[in-house]
Structure 1
């Protein structure tokens, strides 16, 4: 609260939205090693197996953050894959198109459930992404389980 004294709600929202870009700029200025997916798609493994980084020899650098280490998907993807993160965006677009056309064509309950979880993940990419938490993996597994259970039941 002491950091935000004298700030209006608009100032707070503006600061929050620009933190990811400022911290991405800091990442672009620093030489670092890639984290090979352990900031995005494999991050849940760090909850299950805390020593995975040491076992694989991956080092996470400490960065001088602007305010809080607020990184959004572009920054986490850049830490993992560098500029190849643009290919990841293309893959996410193709996956979205696959889900969208699949749901329109065959109306599968399993596909609809997975599409919902996918959209939930994509909607969170503009803040700290939900894919960084172990609960995302649990959400995918639960959605898949319940969808399969409902399909068998019906």
Structure 2
């Protein structure tokens, strides 16, 4: 009889090795409904629980209460891209992947990245982070969901170009 059984801890470690990264998406009915604010509040809660969480990118849109929540969370410096004489800032994918946090907060999922970025769209950045084993928390407005774009446009008469 073989008494050499793996310990529960070693089995759990093996399970975690094969565990896929998770995506949490905050969906809002319109801009300004509190998606980013809630993401940041949840990020602080996760940090208090001991999670290694960083901000990849946050768009506070001038909202003081949202900006105040950025404090106390590690923020990856933005990558600067020169385009047609203008300096644009985008999320630094290489820096995030090199850091290897447990969780990264990535705002504005439907965003189109500046030319010269690693990926054309931010949702592609998110897919790359997930493939790298990094959990992602992100936000998107309902009108940016491609399958809902027509219905939202009929109701609001506003059609957005950036969709996921």
Normalising by structure 2, what TM-score?
A: 0.24
- TM-score scaled to structure 1, two decimals? 0.26
Structure showing the higher strand proportion among its residues: 2
